[in-house]
C-alpha cells in the first residue's frame, strides 16, 4: 500500500498511531511511512507496527467516572492537523462502522480494508487475518489429536470468532473434528454425546470437539468474562462448560483447551500476505481515482470494491444452509441440530 502510494502516486503516507486514539492526542500521534519501512520483515509479522485501539468508541467515549462523551470532533480536528487528504482504514465491521461515521462527519475520503480473524465482514470472501487464525486453530487440533488418542480422551478446543462460527467450522473440518459447535446452530448435549458414543461403538478411543467462543449454555445464557470499555462481551470459557457437560453425559475423560489470543499471532500465512498486498494496492488505486466510502473486497477470485454502506452493521455469520455446514454434515461431523 505504502509503495503504491509513494512510488505510484507520489503521495506522502502517514501512519496513525493507535488508530483513532492517536488522533485524540495533541499533537496527534503519527509517523511518515516510507516503502523502506516495509522491506524485509513486515510481511512476515503479525500484529501492527503502528498500534491500534478497540476501545473508546469516539461517539461515546468512556471516562473513569462512568460518563461518556462524544469526542468525534476532536478526532476530526486531529486528522485535519496532520493535513491529510484521505484515510485508508483497516479493521473489522465495528471499526469500519466508526470510521465511516467519522468520515461522513468530517467530509474525509475513506477507503476500508477488511481485517479480522473472525471473517465476519459482509461483501468479501476473506478478511485479512482469518487465514492465519484458521491455520493456528487447525494446528492446535493436530497437536491435540495424538494426546487424545494416547489417553482415550475427549479433547475440547475453544476458538475465537466473536459472534460468528467461521473459525470453528473451518478449523473443525480441516482438523478432523468429530463435533463442531457454533453460535449459528442450536445444539443438544445429547446430540454431542450421541456422536461420541457412536464413535466409541466403532472402537474409536478419542474425540475432538471444537466450540466457538460465543456458543451459549444449553439454557441460552452466554459465557462471558466481563465486558470491554465499549460494552462488548469478552468471551472465553464456554469450552469448559461444554467439556463438563460431555463428561457428565458420557463418562468420558475430557480435557479443555481455550486457544484465545494465540490465534492472533504467529507468522502470517501466504494467503493473508497476499490479501493484505492486494487490498492495499487496490485501496490506494481507489483513492487515486477519487473514490470514497467504499471497502475493498475479495470475490470470485478477484479484488473488487463495494459501498461501505452495504457493509457496516451487517455482520456476516455462518450460513446454516451453506456449503461448509453441508460439508461438515456430509463428513459425519455433529455440527448442531438440523433446523430443517
Residues that bind ligand F6P (CB under 6 A): 54, 92, 116-118, 160-162, 213, 228, 234-235, 264
Nearest distance in Å: CB 70, ligand F6P: 23
Nearest distance in Å: CB 313, ligand F6P: 15
Query: How many angstroms separate the CA atoms of 127 and 113, rounded?
Result: 8
Nearest distance in Å: CB 101, ligand F6P: 19
Distance of CA 248 to the CA centre of its chain: 32
Longest CA–CA separation in the chain, Å:
69
285 in active site = no
Query: How many angstroms separate the CA atoms of 250 and 197, rounded?
Result: 7
Please, which residue, 92 or 175, has the CB nearer to ligand F6P? 92
Query: How many angstroms separate the CA atoms of 242 and 187, rounded?
Result: 11
Nearest distance in Å: CB 121, ligand F6P: 11
Residue nearest to ligand F6P (CB): 160
Please, which residue, 86 or 114, has the CB nearer to ligand F6P? 114
**Active-site hit among 57, 65, 73, 118:** 118
**C-beta atoms surrounding 248 within 10 Å:** 12
Strand partners, 91: 114
Query: How many angstroms separate the CA atoms of 231 and 90, rounded?
Result: 21
Distance of CA 297 to the CA centre of its chain: 15
Q: What share of the chain is helix, strand, coil (3-state, %, to 5)?
A: 40, 20, 40
Please, which residue, 158 or 285, has the CB nearer to ligand F6P? 158
Please, which residue, 5 or 141, has the CB nearer to ligand F6P? 141
Catalytic residue numbers read: 118
Amino acid at each position: 500500500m505504502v509503495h503504491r502510494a509513494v512510488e505510484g502516486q507520489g503521495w506522502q503516507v502517514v501512519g496513525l498511531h493507535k488508530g483513532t486514539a492517536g488522533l485524540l492526542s495533541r499533537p496527534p500521534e503519527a509517523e511518515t511511512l516510507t516503502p523502506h519501512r516495509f522491506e524485509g520483515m513486515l510481511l512476515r509479522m503479525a500484529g501492527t507496527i503502528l498500534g491500534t485501539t478497540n476501545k473508546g468508541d469516539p461517539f461515546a467515549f468512556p471516562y473513569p467516572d462512568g460518563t461518556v462523551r462524544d469526542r468525534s470532533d476532536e478526532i476530526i480536528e486531529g486528522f485535519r492537523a496532520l493535513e491529510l487528504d484521505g484515510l485508508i482504514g483497516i479493521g473489522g465491521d465495528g471499526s469500519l462502522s466508526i470510521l465511516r461515521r467519522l468520515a461522513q462527519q468530517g467530509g474525509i475520503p475513506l477507503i476500508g480494508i477488511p481485517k479480522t480473524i473472525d471473517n465476519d465482514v459482509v461483501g468479501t470472501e476473506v478478511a485479512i487475518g482469518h487465514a492465519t487464525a484458521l491455520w493456528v486453530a487447525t494446528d492446535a487440533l493436530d497437536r491435540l489429536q495424538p494426546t487424545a488418542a494416547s489417553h482415550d480422551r475427549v479433547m475440547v478446543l475453544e476458538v475465537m470468532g466473536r459472534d460468528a462460527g467461521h473459525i470453528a467450522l473451518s478449523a473443525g473440518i480441516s482438523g478432523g473434528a468429530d463435533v463442531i459447535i457454533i453460535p449459528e446452530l442450536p445444539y443438544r448435549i445429547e446430540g454431542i454425546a450421541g456422536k461420541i458414543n457412536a464413535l466409541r461403538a466403532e472402537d474409536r478411543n478419542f474425540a475432538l470437539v471444537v466450540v466457538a467462543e460465543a456458543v451459549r449454555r444449553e439454557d441460552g445464557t452466554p459465557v462471558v468474562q466481563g465486558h470491554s470499555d465499549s460494552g462488548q462481551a469478552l468471551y472465553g470459557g464456554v469450552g469448559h462448560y461444554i467439556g463438563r457437560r460431555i463428561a457428565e453425559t458420557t463418562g468420558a475423560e475430557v480435557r479443555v483447551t481455550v486457544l484465545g489470543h494465540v490465534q492472533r499471532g504467529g507468522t502470517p500465512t501466504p494467503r493473508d500476505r497476499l490479501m493484505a498486498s492486494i487490498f492495499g494496492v487496490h485501496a490506494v488505486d481507489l483513492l487515486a481515482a477519487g473514490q470514497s466510502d467504499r471497502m475493498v473486497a475479495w470475490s470470485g477470485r478477484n479484488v473488487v470494491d463495494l459501498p461501505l454502506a452495504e457493509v457496516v452493521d451487517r455482520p456476516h455469520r455462518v450460513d446454516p444452509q451453506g456449503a461448509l455446514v453441508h460439508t461438515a454434515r456430509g463428513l459425519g461431523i455433529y455440527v448442531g441440530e438440523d433446523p430443517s
